[in-house]
Amino acid sequence: MLSGSIFGQMYNPVKWTTSVEKISDKEYVLKAQAVIQSGWHLYGQYIEEGGPSRTAFTFKNAKKNFELIGKTTEEKGNEVVDKIFDMKIKYFEDKALFTQKIKFTSDVISNIDGEVEFMVCDDSNCLPPSSEELTFKIPNAPKLASAEETVAVKDSAISEENVVVKQEQTASNATVASPKKNESRGLLSIFIIAFLSGFAALLTPCVFPMIPMTVSYFTKQSKTKAAGIRNAMIYGFSIVIIYVLLGSIVTAVFGADSLNALSTNVWFNLIFFVLLVVFACSFLGAFEIMLPNALANKVDSQADRGGLIGIFFMALALAIVSFSCTGPIVGTLLVEAASKGGIAPIVGMLGFSTAIALPFSLFAAFPGWLNALPKSGGWLNTVKVVLGFLELALAFKFLSNADLVLQLHWLEREVFLAIWIAVFGALAFYLFGKITLPHDSPLNHISVGRLSFGLLVLTFTIYLIPGLWGAPLKLISGFPPPMQYSESPNGLGVSSNAEAKITGSLPEGAEHGPQNIITFHDYTKGMEYAKKVGKPVLLDFTGYACVNCRKMEELVWSDSKVLGVLNNDVVLISLYVDDKKELPENEQYVSETTGKKIKTIGNKWSDLQIKTYKANAQPFYVIVDHNSTNLAEPSAYNPDIQEYYNWLQSGIQKFKK
């Protein structure tokens, strides 16, 4: 049986409780706790537009009795990079705590009412957006104030009474893993990237020449070889401490929760786009970013004190003197780590500083290795320029984030890829010696290493080019805007005449949907067309940001057998339960099933699904005849192509009898 068990199935996966914590006579913390049924996931508040549904809180304050202090915060949760949306997605399992600090501007009132809008998914279903009213009871008298007082319990189990609500957002289904594994894997990747960035920083003109100079200083000034090694080790540890301290300051200033929220903030992305462009220009030779000379001189004077303090100030002097080379790399790492939240900035600086400090300690222990080091020269500037090109490419990721959040469509997928092709193409020409920059030394010949790296960059550039025509480019998944955020959905290879011809062939009220299948979004028009052509109807209850819906469309509907059926044997009506367009005033109504007011088109289709099929999850497929009678049991998410094909054929065969 393909999916008979889902017919008439309603899900109730979340319960909410509220509590209040008193800070002072006027300040309180409102807490909303979600208890999530095993196997289901609730999404966080800070997810980019175009992704799955966010959890959102509103607090009713008609009389202006209080003001909100900061944003509603949430726990760390879990993060995955969703391949369908090409973005990082945060979700919660088992439970989630949300807090909002408030300050009363007049007399303290006993109750504060609020509302939470949310969506939940499991591995095969996504429920329509739902909302739940919350009540926070504020203790009036000082004697009632306790550290935490549970005052109200609201059961937000999704039922026929509350499942159709404001369709402000939609949910999707992300592949989930163990929270601890996800967190540790994310921090490990940050450490590795930062560690490799540290090695890249070593190969810059500001740092590399310091290695033999510093190691020689310690070996000559120390009375014994053991003392020289010990001092060099302390020097290395001092470098680590300095950079980790920087990461700790960033985390402390912004806070773990706010760092994570910054990743979807428009101004954050725009500011760091500008910063990375400035860093890139610096590396390319336009100017140098330097700390004040007075600071460098003051720190350098302290290095003469000797002992542990002197060694520490020597390490600090290295960090300051080399800032023109390491500053842009450190800044980029902190930006990336900041978007991850938590202790990511600390872990990033630990990885970066370890790579910087390691050579000083190793070469002090084995001075003979210094003879194997390549001599300083123009190749160091080449490394710096390569880093500049990489910084420039990364900068446009932040600009793309801002564009996606605002949905401006200024930096769509094709434009983004064109910019990257230009950047990496220019880098390839630079490596081949066809482009020279201000601080480059004369290039009489190209080394084998430089040629090899140039060929690698050129190969990557050529790989990007088919993306302009719709290639998925899995190697850089998550960097360019998603496929649907595209200037030319049918690909650049489709001429305007061909597009006009395709559009002209559409029935009235239809459009090209997934896989270019002719699709209706209006139930009545789709039914009228089905009667006209004498075909059964496939009702597709879906959502714009439903991951499993996209998986079915991309993995199952794309199969030649299934696609043939959808193109030729049925009329597809896709009903989006998250369509935000408001219904005309005279078409709005109160649902007989849920008692909620149906205001939007999405509300209408969600209400139809619940009322007719007693189900509230997407994707949800039903094959019906022209009288809306079921021709087969409804189907939900099912990635088995053959089973889905057989299910379609069973409904079509019954229609023909």
The DSSP H or E segment spanning 100 is strand 95-104
Give, in degrees to the nearest 5, the angle at Cα 576 between 574 and 577: 140
pLDDT of residue 32 exceeding 80, the answer is yes
- Nearest CA-CA partner of 165 in 288, 53, 252: 53
pLDDT of residue 300 exceeding 60, the answer is no
Residue whose token pair is 């309180």:
28
pLDDT of residue 530 exceeding 90, the answer is yes
For the chain, the domains span 9-154, 180-376, 379-490, 505-577+618-656
What six digits make up the tokens of 115? 């509302």
* pLDDT score of 291: 52
pLDDT of residue 162 exceeding 50, the answer is no
Q: Mean pLDDT, the chain, as a whole number?
A: 75
pLDDT digits (tens, 9 = 90+) for 60-115: 887 888 889 888 999 888 887 766 566 778 888 888 999 999 988 888 888 888 98
Q: Which residue has the higher pLDDT, 255 or 429?
A: 429
Determine the Cα–Cα distance for residues 184 and 236; give it in Å rounded to an integer.
26
pLDDT of residue 172 exceeding 70, the answer is no
Taking 3-state DSSP, the helix, strand and coil percentages for the chain, each rounded to the nearest 5, stand at 50, 15, 35
Q: Which residue has the higher pLDDT, 624 or 294?
A: 624
pLDDT digits (tens, 9 = 90+) for 319-330: 665 665 666 666
Determine the Cα–Cα distance for residues 222 and 154; give it in Å rounded to an integer.
70
* pLDDT score of 555: 79
pLDDT of residue 651 exceeding 60, the answer is yes
* Assigned superfamily of 505-577+618-656: Glutaredoxin (3.40.30.10)
* pLDDT score of 142: 42
Q: Which residue has the higher pLDDT, 26 or 482?
A: 26
Determine the Cα–Cα distance for residues 291 and 275; give it in Å rounded to an integer.
16
pLDDT tier at 11 (50, 70, 90 boundaries)? low
Percent of the chain with pLDDT strictly greater than 70: 68
Residue whose token pair is 């800032």:
323
* pLDDT score of 181: 43
Q: Would you say 82 and 174 are in contact if contact means Cβ atoms under 8 Å apart? A: yes
* pLDDT score of 642: 92
What interhelical angle do 307-321 and 225-254 show, nearest 10?
60
Query: What is the DSSP secondary-structure string of 59-77?
Result: E--TT--EEEEEEEEE---
pLDDT tier at 549 (50, 70, 90 boundaries)? confident
Residue whose token pair is 């979700």:
91
* pLDDT score of 423: 94
* pLDDT score of 406: 66
Across 171-180, 522-531, 539-548, the highest mean pLDDT is recorded for 522-531
* pLDDT score of 572: 95
Torsion angle in degrees (nearest 10) through CA of 432, 437, 439, 445:
20
What is the arithmetic mean of pLDDT over 199-208? 68
pLDDT tier at 145 (50, 70, 90 boundaries)? very low
pLDDT of residue 42 exceeding 60, the answer is yes
pLDDT digits (tens, 9 = 90+) for 366-418: 666 666 666 655 666 787 788 789 888 888 887 887 776 566 788 888 899 99
- Nearest CA-CA partner of 80 in 340, 412, 363: 340
* pLDDT score of 50: 66
Across 250-254, 407-411, 605-609, the highest mean pLDDT is recorded for 605-609
Q: Which residue has the higher pLDDT, 148 or 289?
A: 289
* pLDDT score of 580: 72
pLDDT tier at 292 (50, 70, 90 boundaries)? low
What six digits make up the tokens of 292? 């004040």
* Assigned superfamily of 9-154: Thiol:disulfide interchange protein DsbD, N-terminal domain (2.60.40.1250)
pLDDT of residue 351 exceeding 50, the answer is yes
Among 306-320, 538-552, 639-653, where is mean pLDDT lowest?
306-320
pLDDT digits (tens, 9 = 90+) for 464-479: 999 888 787 867 765 7
